[in-house]
C-alpha cells in the first residue's frame, strides 16, 4: 500500500474486513498504475485515491470505494475484467466497466464517441446508481486539477461538465457537488470574468456580512419569540449562480442584491410552516417568490420552503426553510441512502422518483436510433426547471418547463401517448401543443385507431415523448415503405411476364440468403428507392430465364393519402385530373409529379427511374394548388377575392401579396381543391370578379417560376 495512506483517515466507518479489502485494492491499483503520471506531474495513483476520498465523504459502501480505486485500470493499464472479477468479485468488475470509456472503439466522429460514452454510463447507472456516483467523483477531481491541461482541453472538459455532469448531479440531488462543478466550470470557461467577480464579492463581503448579521439576529429573535427551535445560518450565493443571474437579467454586480441568503433548519414539517409565517410577519414577502417544495417536492426529491422577503434595507433576502432530514438529502441526494441498499418497500419518495427516472433511461434508449439521439433526449430531462400539473384523479406530476400535453400523455403511459387525439386542460379542450402551467389539471382523450403525428416532434419536450414519437413514426414509415415496395415489385413482375402470386418462399429464399436481409427489408428498400423493383423482379424470376415482356404492367393508383412513402411533389403540386408519373427517389420513396414538370423531364426516357401511375377514381381528399391572381389595386380586393374562393368550397392555406405597379397587385394563394374540375370552376369564378384581371395556376412553387394558364 502507498506510504502515508491510512484507510481509517479516508473512510473511518469501514469495518476491519472492509478496510483490508480497501488496502488490497489500493495496492493493486498502485501497482497497475506504476510508472504513470498525471499531467501535473503527480503519480497517477493520487487520482483514484482522491476520487475514493470524495466517495468516502458520502459514506459509500466498500464495493464502491474499491471500484473507485480501480476505475481506470481497465482503460489505462493491461488489467482485464476477468482479472478484476477474480480478485474483487463480479460486482466491483461491473462498476469499473460501467465507468470505463470506449476509446478503443471506432466512431464516425468525436460527438458520437462522447455520446456513446454517456449512453453507456447512464444505462449502467440505470442498473446501479453507484456507477454514476463514481463517475461524478472522478469528474470532480479532474475539474479540481484542470490547471495542468491546455486551454483547449480546459474548454472542452468544462463545457462537457456544465452540459452533462453538473445537471446529472443536480438531478440526483447532489447539491454541494452540483454547485462546485458549476463554479469550477465557470472558472475555466471564463477565467477573467471569474476573477473579476470573485474580487468584487471579496471586496464587498465586509459590508454585506454586517448587514447579514443584523438580519440574522432579527430572524433568530423572531423565531425565539414564536417558540420555534431552529438553526439559522447565512449563506453566500455561488459565483456561477451570481454570474448567471447577471447574464439572464442584464444586471451589473452592484444591482444583484440577493447574493446572500438564509437557511432555517427546524425539527419537523409543521415547524417549517410556522417558521414561514413568523418570517412573513417580520419582513414582507415578495409576491410570486414563494415555492413550496415540501408539499410538491422536486423530481430529484429535494424538499424545502423557499421565500424571498423585503429586507430592512430594501434588498431582497432569500430564505430556505427545511428539516434536518431535508437538509441532509439536499446536500447528499441519493448518495445519502443509495437505492441498491434497501428494498422497494422502504424507498423514500426521493429514491422512488430517482429510480423511476433511471428506469425511464432504458425506455428512451430502446426507442433511440443512436447514441447522439439518446443524449439529445436525456439532456432535456437533466434540467430541473419544472412545472407541476395534476391528473384527473388529483395525482401530481412534475414536467419540464415548456412541456406540452403530448409530453404529459407519454409520461402517464406510452400507449396513452401513442393513441392521444385531444386534451382537456382545466376542463377545456386545448391543442395538444399547449404548454402546461403550474397547477393545470390535464386530461388526455385517446382513440384506439390514433397514431402519433409527425408534427408532434416539433413541440414535444421530454426525452421519453420524443423517443417514442420517433420510434412510432419510424415503424409507420417502414410499414408504408413495405406496402409501396410490394406494389412496385408486383408491377415490375407483371412487366416481365410474371405474377406476384406465383412468387413463393422458394423463389425468395436465394435472394434473402444472398443479401442477408428479410423480405420486408427488401420490399422497404424498393419502396424507399434503395433498390430497383425491376432488378429484384429479375432475380426472383431468374430460374425462368430472361422473361420477355408479355404485357405492359398495370398502373399504380394514387389517392394522395398513402402516407410518407408516397408524396406529391411540391414543385408542381399535382391534383386529380393532371397526367402524372412517379419518380423513385432514394431514401424518400415515390414522388408524384405532373407529366410536364421540368424537375423530371430528364427521367422520362429512363423507365427504371419512373413508375406508371394514375389517379384512383374514388379520391375523397383536398389537394393544395398554387394560383396567382392579378387584380386592380383597390381597397378590399383581398377580402373580395378570399370570399370568392370560399364561395367555391375551397380553403385558403397560404396567401401573400406583391405590388406589380401603382394600378395592379399580384395575389399568390395556396388553395385546396378536390380535382382538376374543381380548380377550373374556381378559376372561372375568380375571373368573373370585377377587380380581377387574370388568374393562372402556378407550377414550380408559390413564387411562380413556371406558369400554366387554366
What's phi and psi for 498, nearest 5 deg?
Answer: -95, -175
Which has the higher per-residue pLDDT, 200 or 387? Answer: 200
Return the minimum-mean-pLDDT range out of 31-40, 48-57, 145-154, 363-372.
Answer: 363-372
Half-sphere exposure (CA, 13 Å, Cβ side) for 256? 25
Nearest to 211, CA basis, from 312, 126, 124: 312
Pair 330, 224 in one domain = yes
> Which pLDDT value is given to residue 597?
85
Give me the mean pLDDT over the 349-361 stretch: 59
DSSP conformation class of 238:
P
Model confidence at 502, pLDDT cuts 50, 70, 90, reads: confident
* 343, HSE (Cβ side, Cα atoms, 13 Å): 2
Which residue in this structure is represented by grid cell 396567382? 628
User: Among the ranges 283-292, 325-334, 401-410, 477-486, which has the highest mean pLDDT value?
Assistant: 401-410
Could you tell me the pLDDT band of residue 408, with boundaries at 50, 70 and 90? Answer: very high
Mean pLDDT value of segment 291-319: 80
Share of the chain above pLDDT 70, in %: 78
One domain, residues 19 and 134: yes
Confidence of residue 700 (pLDDT cuts 50, 70, 90): low
For 57-124, the DSSP string reads HTT--HHHHHHHHTTTHHHHSS--HHHHHHHH-HHHHHHHHHH---TTS--SSHHHHHHHHHHHHHHH
What distance in Å separates the CA atoms of residue 630 and residue 687, rounded to the nearest whole number? Answer: 10
At residue 3 the predicted structure's pLDDT band, cuts being 50, 70 and 90, is low
- Based on the domain organization, do 507 and 545 belong to the same domain? yes
Give the pLDDT score at 103: 37
- Which residue range is the domain that position 274 belongs to? 192-335
Each residue of 266-288: pLDDT tens digit?
999 999 999 999 999 998 888 87
CATH of the domain at 238: 3.30.460.10
**pLDDT tens digits, one per residue of 91-108:** 899 888 877 753 344 445
pLDDT of residue 353: 61
If pLDDT is split at 50, 70 and 90, which confidence band does 26 have? very high
Q: What average pLDDT does the segment 51-69 reach?
A: 90
- pLDDT value at residue 102: 37
Tell me the per-residue pLDDT of 392-401, one tens digit each, with 9 for 90 and over: 887 777 787 7
Query: What is the C-alpha to C-alpha distance for residues 55 and 45, in angstroms, rounded to an integer?
Result: 16
> What's the pLDDT score for residue 607?
63
Domain count of the fold of the chain: 4
> ∠ at Cα 683 (567, 680), nearest 5°?
60
Rounded distance between C-alpha atoms, residue 164 and residue 375, angstroms: 9
The answer to whether 268 and 295 have CB atoms below 8 angstroms apart is: no
User: What is the per-residue pLDDT for 329?
Assistant: 74
Q: Is residue 55 in a domain?
A: yes
pLDDT tens column, 504-536: 788 888 888 877 788 888 887 777 666 767 667
Helix (H) or strand (E) holding 646: helix 637-647
Q: Which range has the worst mean pLDDT, 316-330, 557-571, 585-599?
A: 557-571
Report which DSSP code applies to 129.
T
| Residue-level pLDDT at 345 | 42
pLDDT, position 627: 93
Give domain status of residue 62, yes or no. Answer: yes
pLDDT of residue 653: 84
Look at residue 366 and tell me whether its pLDDT is greater than 50: yes
Instruction: With a cut of 70, say whether residue 542 has pLDDT above it.
Output: no
- CA–CA distance, 278 with 271 (Å, rounded to integer): 10
Phi and psi at 128, nearest 5°, equal -150, 110
Is a pLDDT exceeding 50 seen at residue 340? no
pLDDT exceeds 70 at position 113? no
Q: What is the pTM of this model?
A: 0.52
DSSP-based three-state secondary structure for 624: strand
Q: Is residue 445 domain-resident?
A: no
Q: Which residues contact 67 (CB under 8 A, 6 or more apart)?
A: 92, 95, 96, 99, 130, 134
Pair type for strands 316-323 and 260-266: parallel
pLDDT score of 68: 93
To which residue does cell 445537471 refer? 167
Q: Could you tell me if 570 and 635 lie in one domain?
A: no
Top pLDDT among 288 and 652 is at 652
What dihedral angle (degrees, nearest 10) is formed by the CA atoms of 304, 310, 312, 313?
120
DSSP state of 335: G
Residues 640, 541 share a domain: no
In a domain, 537, yes or no: yes
Nearest CA to 511 among 501, 500, 522, 497? Answer: 522
- Residue with more model confidence, 148 or 330: 148
Chain mean pLDDT for the chain: 79
In this predicted model, what pLDDT tens digit does every residue of 194-252 receive, in sequence order? 998 888 877 766 566 777 788 888 899 999 999 999 999 887 678 888 888 788 777 77
Residue 704 is predicted with a pLDDT of 40
Report if residue 294 sits inside a domain.
Answer: yes
Q: Among all chains, which residue has been given the C-alpha cell 431552529? A: 230
pLDDT digits over 610-640, tens only?
A: 777 888 888 878 898 999 999 988 888 888 9
DSSP 153-178: HHHHHHHHIIIIIHHHHHHTT-HHHH
390 inside domain: no
User: Do 555 and 578 belong to one domain?
Assistant: yes
* Residue 607 shares a structural domain with residue 631: no
* Pick from 81, 120, 362, 58: nearest CA to 67: 81
Does position 405 have pLDDT exceeding 60, yes or no? yes
Confidence of residue 478 (pLDDT cuts 50, 70, 90): confident
Q: Which residue has better confidence, 1 or 493?
A: 493
More confident residue, 666 or 464: 666
Local confidence band at 560 (pLDDT 50, 70, 90 cut-offs): confident
With 50 as the cut, is the pLDDT of residue 709 above it? no
- Which residues are annotated as catalytic? 75-76
Q: Among residues of the chain, what percentage have pLDDT more than 90? A: 21
Query: Please, are residues 173 and 332 in contact by the beta-carbon 8 Å criterion?
Result: yes
Could you tell me the pLDDT band of residue 325, with boundaries at 50, 70 and 90?
Answer: confident
Q: What pLDDT does residue 486 have?
A: 83
Same domain? 173 vs 202: no
Does one domain contain both 217 and 172? no
| Contacts of residue 504, Cβ cutoff 8 Å, sequence gap at least 6 | none
Residue 200 and residue 113 in one domain: no
Domain boundary among 585, 615, 645: 615
C-alpha cell at 539: 432475380
Of 547, 581, 615, which closes a domain? 615
> Does an H or E element contain 664, and which?
strand 664-673
Query: Does 223 lie in the same domain as 186?
Result: no
Cβ-Cβ contacts under 8 Å for 385 (sequence gap 6 or more): 400, 401
- Tens-place pLDDT, residues 79-89: 888 899 989 99
Count Cβ atoms within 10 A of the Cβ of residue 518 and give its class: 0-12 exposed, 13-18 middle, 19 or more buried.
exposed
Under 8 Å between Cβ of 264 and 321 = yes
pLDDT for the residue numbered 586: 63
Domain ends where: 318, 335, 352?
Answer: 335
> What CATH number corresponds to the domain at position 661?
3.30.70.260
pLDDT of residue 401: 75
CATH number at residue 26: 1.10.3210.10
**Inside any domain, residue 584:** yes
Pair 121, 88 in one domain: yes
Backbone angles phi, psi at 92, to 5 degrees: -65, -40
Is residue 305 in a domain? yes
Q: Which 8-state DSSP code applies to residue 606?
A: -
pLDDT, tens digit, for every residue of 121-170?
Answer: 566 566 677 888 888 899 999 999 998 888 889 998 998 888 778 887 87
* 298 or 433: which leads in pLDDT: 433
pLDDT (0 to 100) of residue 710: 35
Amino acid at each position: 500500500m502507498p506510504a502515508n495512506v491510512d484507510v481509517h483517515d479516508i473512510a473511518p466507518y469501514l469495518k476491519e474486513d472492509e478496510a483490508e479489502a480497501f488496502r488490497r485494492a489500493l495496492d493493486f491499483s498502485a501497482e497497475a498504475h506504476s510508472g504513470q503520471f498525471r499531467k501535473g506531474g503527480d503519480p497517477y495513483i493520487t487520482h483514484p485515491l482522491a476520487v475514493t476520498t470524495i466517495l468516502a465523504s458520502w459514506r459509500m459502501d466498500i464495493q464502491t470505494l474499491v471500484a473507485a480505486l480501480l476505475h481506470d485500470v481497465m482503460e489505462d493499464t493491461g488489467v482485464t475484467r476477468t482479472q478484476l472479477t477474480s480478485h474483487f468479485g463480479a460486482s466491483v468488475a461491473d462498476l469499473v466497466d460501467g465507468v470505463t470509456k470506449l476509446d478503443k472503439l471506432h466512431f464516425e466522429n468525436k460527438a458520437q464517441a462522447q455520446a456513446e460514452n454517456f449512453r453507456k454510463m447512464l444505462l449502467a447507472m440505470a442498473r446501479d446508481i453507484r456507477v454514476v456516483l463514481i463517475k461524478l467523483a472522478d469528474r470532480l477531481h479532474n475539474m479540481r486539477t484542470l490547471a495542468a491541461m491546455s486551454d483547449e482541453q480546459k474548454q472542452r472538459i468544462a463545457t462537457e461538465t456544465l452540459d452533462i455532469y453538473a445537471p446529472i448531479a443536480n438531478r440526483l440531488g447532489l447539491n454541494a457537488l452540483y454547485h462546485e462543478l458549476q463554479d469550477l466550470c465557470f472558472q475555466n470557461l471564463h477565467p477573467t470574468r471569474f476573477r473579476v467577480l470573485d474580487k468584487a464579492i471579496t471586496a464587498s463581503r465586509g459590508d454585506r456580512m454586517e448587514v447579514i448579521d443584523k438580519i440574522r439576529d432579527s430572524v433568530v429573535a423572531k423565531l425565539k419569540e414564536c417558540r420555534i427551535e431552529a438553526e439559522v445560518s447565512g449563506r453566500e450565493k455561488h459565483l456561477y449562480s451570481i454570474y448567471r443571474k447577471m447574464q439572464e437579467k442584464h444586471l451589473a454586480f452592484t444591482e444583484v442584491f440577493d447574493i446572500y441568503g438564509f437557511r432555517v433548519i427546524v425539527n419537523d414539517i409543521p415547524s417549517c410552516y410556522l417558521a414561514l409565517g413568523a418570517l412573513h410577519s417580520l419582513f414582507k414577502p415578495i409576491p410570486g417568490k414563494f415555492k413550496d417544495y415540501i408539499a410538491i417536492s422536486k423530481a430529484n426529491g429535494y424538499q424545502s420552503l423557499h421565500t424571498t422577503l423585503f429586507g430592512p434595507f430594501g434588498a431582497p433576502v432569500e430564505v430556505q426553510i427545511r428539516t434536518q432530514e431535508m437538509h441532509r438529502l439536499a446536500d447528499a441526494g441519493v448518495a445519502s441512502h443509495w437505492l441498491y441498499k434497501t428494498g422497494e418497500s422502504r424507498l423514500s419518495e426521493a429514491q422512488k422518483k430517482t429510480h423511476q427516472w433511471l428506469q425511464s433511461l432504458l425506455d428512451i434508449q430502446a426507442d433511440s436510433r443512436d447514441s447522439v439521439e439518446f443524449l439529445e433526449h436525456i439532456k432535456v430531462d437533466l434540467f430541473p426547471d419544472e412545472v407541476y400539473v395534476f391528473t384527473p384523479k388529483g395525482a401530481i406530476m412534475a414536467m419540464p418547463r415548456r412541456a406540452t400535453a403530448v409530453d404529459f400523455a407519454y409520461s402517464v403511459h406510452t400507449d396513452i401517448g401513442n393513441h392521444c387525439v385531444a386534451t382537456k386542460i382545466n376542463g377545456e379542450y386545448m391543442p395538444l401543443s399547449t404548454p402546461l402551467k403550474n397547477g393545470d389539471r390535464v386530461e388526455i382523450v385517446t382513440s384506439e385507431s390514433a397514431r402519433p403525428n409527425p408534427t408532434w416532434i416539433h413541440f414535444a419536450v421530454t426525452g421519453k415523448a420524443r423517443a417514442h414519437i420517433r420510434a412510432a413514426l419510424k415503424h409507420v414509415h417502414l410499414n408504408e415503405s413495405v406496402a409501396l415496395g410490394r406494389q412496385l415489385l408486383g408491377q415490375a413482375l407483371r412487366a416481365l411476364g410474371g405474377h406476384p402470386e406465383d412468387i413463393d418462399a422458394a423463389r425468395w429464399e436465394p435472394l434473402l440468403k444472398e443479401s442477408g436481409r428479410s423480405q420486408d427489408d427488401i420490399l422497404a428498400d424498393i419502396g424507399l428507392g434503395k433498390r430497383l423493383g425491376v432488378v429484384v423482379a429479375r432475380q426472383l424470376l431468374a430460374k425462368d430465364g430472361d422473361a420477355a415482356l408479355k404485357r405492359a404492367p398495370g398502373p399504380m393508383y394514387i389517392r394522395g393519402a398513402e402516407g410518407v412513402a408516397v408524396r406529391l411533389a411540391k414543385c408542381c403540386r399535382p391534383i386529380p385530373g393532371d397526367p402524372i408519373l412517379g419518380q423513385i427517389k432514394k431514401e424518400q420513396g415515390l414522388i408524384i409529379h405532373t407529366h410536364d414538370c421540368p424537375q423530371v423531364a430528364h427521367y422520362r426516357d429512363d423507365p427504371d427511374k419512373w413508375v406508371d401511375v394514375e389517379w384512383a377514381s374514388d379520391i375523397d381528399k383536398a389537394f393544395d394548388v398554387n394560383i396567382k391572381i392579378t387584380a386592380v389595386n383597390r381597397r378590399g380586393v383581398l377580402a373580395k377575392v378570399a370570399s370568392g374562393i370560399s364561395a367555391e368550397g375551397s380553403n385558403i392555406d397560404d396567401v401573400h401579396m406583391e405590388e406589380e405597379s401603382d394600378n395592379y397587385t399580384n395575389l399568390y394563394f395556396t388553395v385546396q381543391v378536390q380535382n382538376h374540375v374543381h380548380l377550373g370552376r374556381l378559376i372561372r369564378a375568380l375571373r368573373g370578379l370585377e377587380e380581377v384581371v387574370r388568374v393562372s395556376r402556378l407550377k414550380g412553387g408559390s413564387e411562380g417560376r413556371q406558369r400554366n394558364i387554366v
